[in-house]
Structure 1
Amino acid sequence: MALVAILSGAGISTDSGIPDYRGPQGLWRKDPEAEKLVTYDFYMADPEIRRRSWQMRRTSATWGAEPNAAHRAVAELERSGTPVRVLTQNVDGLHQLAGLPSRKVLELHGTARETACTRCHARAPMAEALVRVEAGETDPPCTVCGGILKSATVMFGERLDPMVLSEAMAIAKACEVFVAVGTTLQVQPAASLAGIATEHGARLIVVNAEPTPYDELAEEIVREPIGTALPVLLKRFAASPDTDTPTPG
């Protein structure tokens, strides 16, 4: 059966109330200073940046967000029997909340739902740190070693986990269909996965409101709203209950 790889970016979660970063209403366009809050060097050097970062985490739209129709469509495709792997640039965990098994989701940029110590690398639920922030700790240190604590996301200036990236590249090389949805395909090395997939014979489908650098490689480009377009698109790749093979696109 054809392996379908789905690279998801911020655009897939906007219908869940989580703003994107680089779109017309994106966070970085509205407040360029906000980018410092998720830049490693600024974060490590400046306690005030860390204080503001913790307040941003505390009030993040992620905590009240629910999976939308696009997330559910991906989970439904997997339940149909079609081999699916999600390579996500998002840190919100909504693919898993929609019912996609965690082992089938590669979080390229980490997760906002955990913390990581910058010294001893201990991980813990983000909720525990946020309780401490609510209680008055403006810059809560690691409870294990006292080191500087951050979210378990890949900040600007940090490298992606090489094992995660290696696995993502293997999936891109092995898939027969590569769907890039809600991503500008501008952030490397994640964006390069689309090119790797096409180099190895995959059909590239881009679902995004704005043009991307990889559009010319795409077999199909969809500019319709993701919440309605993706469920329709993915039904073409769902396994038929009678034949246990994907329905032809």
Structure 2
Amino acid sequence: MIASDIRSGVERLGDMIAEASIIVPFTGAGISTESGIPDFRSPGGLWTRNRPIPFDEFVANRDARDEAWRRRFAMEPTFAAARPGRGHRALASLYRAGKTPAIITQNIDNLHQASGFKADDVIELHGNTTFARCIGCGQAYGLPWVRERFEESGSAPDCTVCDEPVKTATISFGQAMPEDAMRRATELAQECDLFLAIGSSLVVWPAAGFPLMAKRSGAKLVIINNEPTEQDDIADLVIRHDIGETLGPFVGN
């Protein structure tokens, strides 16, 4: 059912939240645009300005690694200034109320943690851009460490432990999905009775499979997104309105 207006959509969503025992939110870039972080596919989005650098290119080509880090440093003021929006805070309210055991996200901005979710309860399918890891041994590095060495040498640093490249702790195109996150997301999708897909275009797989998995496992599915998605026809409720405005009434509940 597509909500005819935001008021009726919010009322129906409130009823569904009240009736549910286990609510699993699944978030995409749309929830963070209110926080000042641009999405990837919309006009003016990050991928309309810069071609994504695939993982194999990052590994094989030092110039590609240098470019990847230049882009990340250019985005640092945006990420550093971002604060949780109404959508993040509403979902954190459900978490504090005990309705939401964990959250699944395609986002890499750490805003769910900043809104009040424990780090272990944020299932990051595409990683986290607020720190870096060695792609070989997994050693973690702070971004200031990377930037200092980048500026000293003019190129991206390698790991001090195993000499493999260091990249943001995100999942690039062609890079293996994190096994533990995929397992936990699968369990959550299969166990919940209400699945909220928020701000995701639902075109990036395998992440886009989780709403479908939840629906097939018996959960009710709500999709909140400004634009239509390919899964709207299986959803119990579709709200095509601003995410902050839609979820704002649930902040603090």
Question: If the length of structure 1 is used for normalisation, what is the TM-score?
Answer: 0.87
Distance between the aligned counterparts of 2:46 and 2:125, measured in 1? 20
**Local SS of the residue matching 2:42:** coil
Structure 1 counterpart of 2:16: none
Structure 2 counterpart of 1:141: 158
Structure 2 counterpart of 1:97: 114
Please state how far the C-alpha of 1:66 moved relative to its aligned partner.
1.2
Q: Match for 1:223 among 240, 244, 250?
A: 240
Identify if the C-alpha distance between structure 1 residues 105 and 146 changes in structure 2 by more than 3 Å, giving closer, same or farther. same
Structure 1: unaligned runs, 5 residues or longer: 239-249
Query: Equivalent residues in 2 for 1:1-249 (5 A)?
Result: 2-28=21-47, 30-31=48-49, 33-36=50-53, 39-60=54-75, 61-232=78-249, 234=250
**Local SS of the residue matching 1:11:** helix
**Local SS of the residue matching 1:56:** helix
Query: 1:72·1:98 contact (CA, 8 Å) conserved in 2?
Result: yes
**Local SS of the residue matching 2:72:** helix
Provide runs of 4+ in structure 1 moved above 3 Å.
134-137
Question: If the length of structure 2 is used for normalisation, what is the TM-score?
Answer: 0.86
**Which deviates the most, 178-187 or 106-115?**
106-115
**Which deviates the most, 138-147 or 221-230?**
138-147
Please state how far the C-alpha of 1:125 moved relative to its aligned partner.
2.4
What is the number of equivalent residue pairs in this alignment?
232
RMSD: 1.8
In structure 2, give the amino acid aligned to 1:142. C
Query: 2:146·2:156 contact (CA, 8 Å) conserved in 1?
Result: no
In structure 2, give the amino acid aligned to 1:107. E
**Which deviates the most, 136-145 or 67-76?**
136-145
Please state how far the C-alpha of 1:136 moved relative to its aligned partner.
4.5
Query: 1:184·1:210 contact (CA, 8 Å) conserved in 2?
Result: yes
Distance between the aligned counterparts of 1:164 and 1:82, measured in 2? 20
Query: 2:149·2:156 contact (CA, 8 Å) conserved in 1?
Result: no
Distance between the aligned counterparts of 2:42 and 2:105, measured in 1? 17
**Local SS of the residue matching 1:143:** coil
Q: Where is the helix percentage greater, Structure 1 or Structure 2?
A: 2
State the percentage of identical aligned residues: 35
